[in-house]
Structure 1
């Protein structure tokens, strides 16, 4: 029971002072940063290179950047950072050398962008983002598939957790449809590994399979989501009961500890 109205619905914002905007996917976009007073603005592309882009992508939870994009453009509001000279090791763009915040000689046509490296697992060929053929990336950057020999729910759970879902609801044999190399075979995960490459199995590239045997998964719908936000990182918290009903959370005693639980559930 509760004593709340929907005006008291709780919300969170995750991943604090940097975001990507205006991109065709979550890995690419215009870099926008937020001041401590809540103001969002853009970054000028003077001196912008892969070192600055790496800082952004690591802040967003990716391993590194694949490109730094000059003249991404399209921003509004203040231009907050200019002439950054990062080493690439900083935890935050605001820790890089550069002009004082708000000092610049730029227009929004010069807004900087990045493209971040994806995780080393992805789902392809599915009818929704939670279902598809499992594709993994080797250390040399080559993407390939996983053979379904010994493929079961424990292996699928590893994939789904890597992708930010709580668990798998299906391990699909003979999903098929892949191209390129078959990189993993005979996997025997416990289900607790952080990465498919940490599971027991054949050496990378060793297999006796064809692409009709490519493995697939279906991941569970998360039981928490953010709604009505202007990006994926902010919004009203909504949770789902075991019967599939979605509802909201009252903000009585809502604080950063509660918000941290939500953001960790969302990956």
Structure 2
């Protein structure tokens, strides 16, 4: 059984390339048959909560190719196990699996949960700035073409920043060369953006100067504390 597992080369300890420890040596996991049940168990074992949406990274080396040993392959879980050690897998030591097929996982951060998927940058306070989301280990801006006050209200709530005051666009908070295709269609009453209807995540043909921004009431509350 693996003594430990960890995620490496991600932005937090709850995302990255999956590594398992066997006989005192760290090695990667091959992506053959890797899916939601297996990634869910890995997140649980790491104490990182639930698997993030789009959090299964199999056979794509999203977090870079590893080196050295590939310890596990053909891992099969039901999704209810407490650790990967309780899942079925082939014998230790894998031949013929290339490191570009190493497994990666993105879990909810064990400290801040869903809030860790989003951040506000270049604002004057914590609760204002350009909206960015992390995907496959990379922070990218969200296109402002379809960003509105209802979606902004949900994100302010999710980030514990009160409610939205305004939604500046057109690069008000600066640019990011990477823009994700995140189009959230919200009613405004949702607790987190994940509950809103969302377009497919990926690269966007949106100009990098048309990025979403928000100013939340939490920005102003800071002045009175």
TM-score (norm 1): 0.44
Q: In the superposition, relative to structure 1, how do residues 183 and 174 fare at CA in structure 2: closer, same or farther (>3 Å)?
A: closer
Q: Do 1:51 and 1:86's aligned partners in 2 also have CA atoms closer than 8 Å? A: yes
- Paired with 2:44 and 2:153, the residues of 1 have a C-alpha distance of 27
Alignment of 1:207-222 (within 5 A): 214-216=216-218
Among 90, 93, 104, the alignment partner of 1:102 is: 93
1:126 Cα shift?
3.4
Match of 1:131 in 2: 126
Alignment of 1:187-206 (within 5 A): none
Match of 1:64 in 2: 51
- Paired with 2:218 and 2:121, the residues of 1 have a C-alpha distance of 9
Q: Do 1:133 and 1:175's aligned partners in 2 also have CA atoms closer than 8 Å? A: no
1:183 Cα shift?
3.3
1:109 Cα shift?
2.5
Among 115, 120, 125, the alignment partner of 1:121 is: 115
Question: 3-state DSSP class of the match of 1:88?
Answer: coil
Q: Do 1:146 and 1:215's aligned partners in 2 also have CA atoms closer than 8 Å? A: no
Q: Do 1:86 and 1:93's aligned partners in 2 also have CA atoms closer than 8 Å? A: yes
* Runs of at least 5 residues in structure 1 that lack an aligned partner in the other structure: 1-15, 136-142, 160-170, 186-195, 198-203, 206-210, 219-267
TM-score (norm 2): 0.51
Q: In the superposition, relative to structure 1, how do residues 108 and 81 fare at CA in structure 2: closer, same or farther (>3 Å)?
A: same
Q: Does 1:90 align with 2:76?
A: no
* Runs of at least 5 residues in structure 2 that lack an aligned partner in the other structure: 132-149, 169-183, 197-212, 221-225
Structure with larger Rg: 1
Q: In the superposition, relative to structure 1, how do residues 23 and 174 fare at CA in structure 2: closer, same or farther (>3 Å)?
A: closer
Among 45, 51, 74, the alignment partner of 2:65 is: 74
Alignment RMSD (CA, Å): 4.3
- Paired with 1:180 and 1:26, the residues of 2 have a C-alpha distance of 30
Q: In the superposition, relative to structure 1, how do residues 133 and 105 fare at CA in structure 2: closer, same or farther (>3 Å)?
A: same
Q: In the superposition, relative to structure 1, how do residues 173 and 144 fare at CA in structure 2: closer, same or farther (>3 Å)?
A: closer
Q: Do 1:55 and 1:91's aligned partners in 2 also have CA atoms closer than 8 Å? A: yes
Q: Does 1:21 align with 2:16?
A: no
- Paired with 1:145 and 1:107, the residues of 2 have a C-alpha distance of 42
